[in-house]
Amino acid sequence: MEISDISNDMVLTQHKFTKELLKDSGLTKFKRAVTPLPLNIMLSASEGTLLEDPTLFKSIVRKLNFLIKTRPDLSYTVKTLSQFMQSLRTSHWQALTHILNYVHNTCGQEIILKGEDQLTLQAFSDSDWISITGYLLLL
Protein backbone atom coordinates (compact mmCIF):
# COMPACT_ATOMS: atom_id res chain seq x y z
CA MET A 1 0.00 0.00 0.00
CA GLU A 2 1.27 3.43 -0.89
CA ILE A 3 0.56 6.35 1.44
CA SER A 4 1.20 9.93 0.38
CA ASP A 5 0.90 13.11 2.42
CA ILE A 6 -0.55 16.01 0.43
CA SER A 7 -1.15 19.16 2.50
CA ASN A 8 -3.33 17.99 5.40
CA ASP A 9 -4.67 15.00 3.46
CA MET A 10 -3.48 11.39 3.21
CA VAL A 11 -3.79 9.48 -0.06
CA LEU A 12 -3.96 5.67 -0.05
CA THR A 13 -3.24 3.82 -3.28
CA GLN A 14 -1.99 0.52 -4.61
CA HIS A 15 -0.80 1.68 -8.04
CA LYS A 16 2.36 -0.45 -8.07
CA PHE A 17 0.52 -3.54 -6.87
CA THR A 18 -2.23 -2.98 -9.44
CA LYS A 19 0.27 -2.74 -12.29
CA GLU A 20 1.99 -5.94 -11.12
CA LEU A 21 -1.37 -7.70 -10.85
CA LEU A 22 -2.29 -6.73 -14.41
CA LYS A 23 1.12 -7.83 -15.68
CA ASP A 24 0.88 -11.18 -13.84
CA SER A 25 -2.56 -11.80 -15.39
CA GLY A 26 -0.95 -12.41 -18.77
CA LEU A 27 -3.36 -10.07 -20.56
CA THR A 28 -1.63 -7.80 -23.04
CA LYS A 29 -4.60 -5.95 -24.52
CA PHE A 30 -7.30 -4.43 -22.38
CA LYS A 31 -10.81 -3.43 -23.42
CA ARG A 32 -12.88 -0.64 -21.99
CA ALA A 33 -14.98 -1.72 -19.01
CA VAL A 34 -16.98 0.73 -16.88
CA THR A 35 -18.44 -1.77 -14.40
CA PRO A 36 -16.64 -4.39 -12.29
CA LEU A 37 -18.86 -7.17 -13.70
CA PRO A 38 -20.80 -7.26 -16.96
CA LEU A 39 -24.40 -6.14 -16.55
CA ASN A 40 -26.97 -8.92 -16.02
CA ILE A 41 -24.29 -11.63 -15.69
CA MET A 42 -25.47 -14.90 -14.15
CA LEU A 43 -22.54 -17.05 -13.02
CA SER A 44 -23.14 -20.71 -12.27
CA ALA A 45 -21.07 -23.47 -10.69
CA SER A 46 -22.22 -25.96 -13.34
CA GLU A 47 -22.45 -24.08 -16.67
CA GLY A 48 -19.52 -23.90 -19.05
CA THR A 49 -16.38 -25.96 -19.51
CA LEU A 50 -14.15 -26.62 -16.51
CA LEU A 51 -10.81 -24.79 -16.55
CA GLU A 52 -7.94 -27.20 -17.11
CA ASP A 53 -5.52 -25.33 -14.87
CA PRO A 54 -7.19 -22.98 -12.37
CA THR A 55 -3.87 -21.91 -10.79
CA LEU A 56 -3.66 -18.50 -12.52
CA PHE A 57 -7.34 -17.78 -11.81
CA LYS A 58 -6.91 -18.50 -8.09
CA SER A 59 -3.73 -16.44 -7.90
CA ILE A 60 -5.40 -13.41 -9.48
CA VAL A 61 -8.46 -13.64 -7.23
CA ARG A 62 -6.19 -13.83 -4.14
CA LYS A 63 -4.44 -10.67 -5.33
CA LEU A 64 -7.77 -8.97 -5.99
CA ASN A 65 -8.72 -9.77 -2.38
CA PHE A 66 -5.71 -7.73 -1.31
CA LEU A 67 -6.53 -4.94 -3.75
CA ILE A 68 -10.01 -4.32 -2.27
CA LYS A 69 -8.34 -2.63 0.72
CA THR A 70 -8.10 0.51 -1.41
CA ARG A 71 -10.69 -0.49 -4.03
CA PRO A 72 -13.96 -1.21 -2.19
CA ASP A 73 -15.78 -1.01 -5.55
CA LEU A 74 -14.35 -4.48 -6.27
CA SER A 75 -15.55 -6.14 -3.03
CA TYR A 76 -18.80 -7.62 -4.32
CA THR A 77 -17.20 -8.79 -7.55
CA VAL A 78 -14.27 -10.52 -5.84
CA LYS A 79 -16.63 -12.14 -3.32
CA THR A 80 -18.80 -13.40 -6.15
CA LEU A 81 -15.89 -14.99 -8.01
CA SER A 82 -14.48 -16.48 -4.80
CA GLN A 83 -17.64 -18.57 -4.41
CA PHE A 84 -16.71 -20.66 -7.46
CA MET A 85 -13.11 -21.58 -6.55
CA GLN A 86 -13.94 -25.31 -6.23
CA SER A 87 -15.38 -25.62 -9.74
CA LEU A 88 -13.92 -22.97 -12.04
CA ARG A 89 -15.48 -22.67 -15.48
CA THR A 90 -14.75 -20.71 -18.64
CA SER A 91 -17.56 -18.28 -17.77
CA HIS A 92 -15.75 -17.45 -14.53
CA TRP A 93 -12.56 -16.76 -16.50
CA GLN A 94 -14.51 -14.42 -18.79
CA ALA A 95 -15.87 -12.58 -15.75
CA LEU A 96 -12.35 -12.33 -14.30
CA THR A 97 -11.08 -10.92 -17.60
CA HIS A 98 -13.82 -8.28 -17.45
CA ILE A 99 -12.76 -7.38 -13.90
CA LEU A 100 -9.15 -7.01 -15.01
CA ASN A 101 -10.26 -4.73 -17.85
CA TYR A 102 -12.18 -2.64 -15.32
CA VAL A 103 -9.16 -2.50 -12.98
CA HIS A 104 -6.96 -1.42 -15.89
CA ASN A 105 -9.37 1.36 -16.86
CA THR A 106 -9.78 2.62 -13.28
CA CYS A 107 -6.18 2.18 -12.14
CA GLY A 108 -5.86 5.81 -11.03
CA GLN A 109 -8.47 5.58 -8.28
CA GLU A 110 -7.31 6.35 -4.76
CA ILE A 111 -8.69 6.95 -1.30
CA ILE A 112 -8.24 10.47 0.08
CA LEU A 113 -8.40 10.93 3.83
CA LYS A 114 -9.06 14.61 4.49
CA GLY A 115 -7.43 16.27 7.48
CA GLU A 116 -9.91 18.27 9.52
CA ASP A 117 -9.62 20.27 12.73
CA GLN A 118 -12.82 18.75 14.09
CA LEU A 119 -13.68 15.03 14.21
CA THR A 120 -17.14 13.93 13.14
CA LEU A 121 -18.37 10.33 12.97
CA GLN A 122 -20.68 9.53 10.06
CA ALA A 123 -22.19 6.12 9.29
CA PHE A 124 -23.97 5.06 6.11
CA SER A 125 -25.69 1.73 5.42
CA ASP A 126 -27.25 0.19 2.34
CA SER A 127 -28.84 -3.24 2.47
CA ASP A 128 -31.43 -5.22 0.57
CA TRP A 129 -33.52 -8.32 1.10
CA ILE A 130 -30.89 -10.62 -0.46
CA SER A 131 -28.58 -10.07 2.55
CA ILE A 132 -26.05 -8.01 0.65
CA THR A 133 -25.13 -5.21 2.98
CA GLY A 134 -22.83 -2.28 2.42
CA TYR A 135 -21.66 0.13 5.04
CA LEU A 136 -19.28 3.04 5.36
CA LEU A 137 -17.99 4.69 8.52
CA LEU A 138 -16.21 8.01 8.29
CA LEU A 139 -14.36 9.70 11.14
- Per-residue model confidence as pLDDT tens digits over 56-80: 999 999 999 999 988 989 999 999 9
Segment 16-33 shows an average pLDDT of 94
How many separate domains does the chain show?
A: 1
Q: Residue 118 sits in which domain range?
A: 2-138
Counted residue by residue, the chain has a size of: 139
As a whole number of angstroms, the distance between CA 39 and CA 33 comes to: 11
As a whole number of angstroms, the distance between CA 52 and CA 65 comes to: 23
- Per-residue model confidence as pLDDT tens digits over 72-101: 899 999 999 999 999 999 999 999 999 999
pLDDT at site 84: 93
pLDDT at residue 16 tops 70 = yes
As a whole number of angstroms, the distance between CA 9 and CA 57 comes to: 36
pLDDT at site 131: 59
Cβ partners under 8 Å of residue 78, min gap 6: 61, 64, 65, 68, 99
Segment 110-115 shows an average pLDDT of 84
Name the region of 48 (left: φ>0; alpha: ψ -120 to 50; beta: rest): left
